[in-house]
A = this chain, B = another copy of it.
Amino acid sequence: MWQLYHFPLCPFSRKVRLALGEKGIAYDLLRENPWEGREEFFALNPTGKTPVLRHSEKDVVLIDSQAICEYFEETVDKTPLILGTAANRAEIRRLTALFDESFFADVTNPILQEKMKKRIIYRAAPDSGLLRETIRLLHEHLDYMDWLIDNRRWLAGAQLSLADFAAAAQISVVDYLGGVDWRGHEGAHGWYRVMKSRPSFRPLLLDKMEGLPPPRHYSDVNA
């Protein structure tokens, strides 16, 4: 059985959970708080980051959300997520990296810092100036997603792909931590509602971070 080291609001663990869900791969969840710097976890992954996926019988440890997704893309035929021509696959990987890196750095990471870590670890108030700038960058990203959705069926092209799951994973964390103001982003909002209603999304919408309840609309697939 696969075991996934994660914490509920880790966007990269969420990306892996969505991909495993789509591919029909069973796994157990093991809770890991990377900020605690647990020695046994650093022995498993020298960067100390979630997600890590370990197989309890086979001697396989997979690290890094993209390496994990590529592994299952290569070994499991069901529901290809990096698909099409080489140019299509490059576009899927470009957008996946855009959400994993730029969206995370601009939006998800500062929101996790200000609204999760400061609340449950440091017991400090969030920096409202920094949050305002983060919301500004969130709207820039949503503008780009609106443009993609206006021009394509899914974010990376005609097919549902890993780029959609990488994006939805990031947005779901932002939505949990206070909600996304979708006004002016009908395209992106419609796309997110469709993503939220997929069966692979269900376990994420039920997952809670202790001491930090989500807003009521968070798990409502029509909101």
Residue ranges of A at the interface with B (Cβ–Cβ < 8 Å): 46-47, 60, 62-64, 66-68, 70-71, 74-75, 86-87, 89-90, 93-94, 97-98, 101-102, 144
A46–B86 alpha-carbon span in the complex (Å): 21
Additional A-B contacts beyond A46-B98, A67-B97, A71-B89 (20; CB < 8 A): A46-B144, A47-B98, A47-B101, A60-B87, A62-B90, A62-B94, A63-B90, A63-B94, A64-B94, A64-B98, A66-B93, A67-B90, A67-B93, A67-B94, A70-B89, A70-B93, A71-B86, A71-B87, A74-B86, A75-B86
Copies in the assembly, this chain: 2
Main secondary structure of the interface of A (DSSP, over half): helix
Nearest B residue (CB) for A62:
B90
Bound Cα distance from A63 to B64, whole angstroms? 20
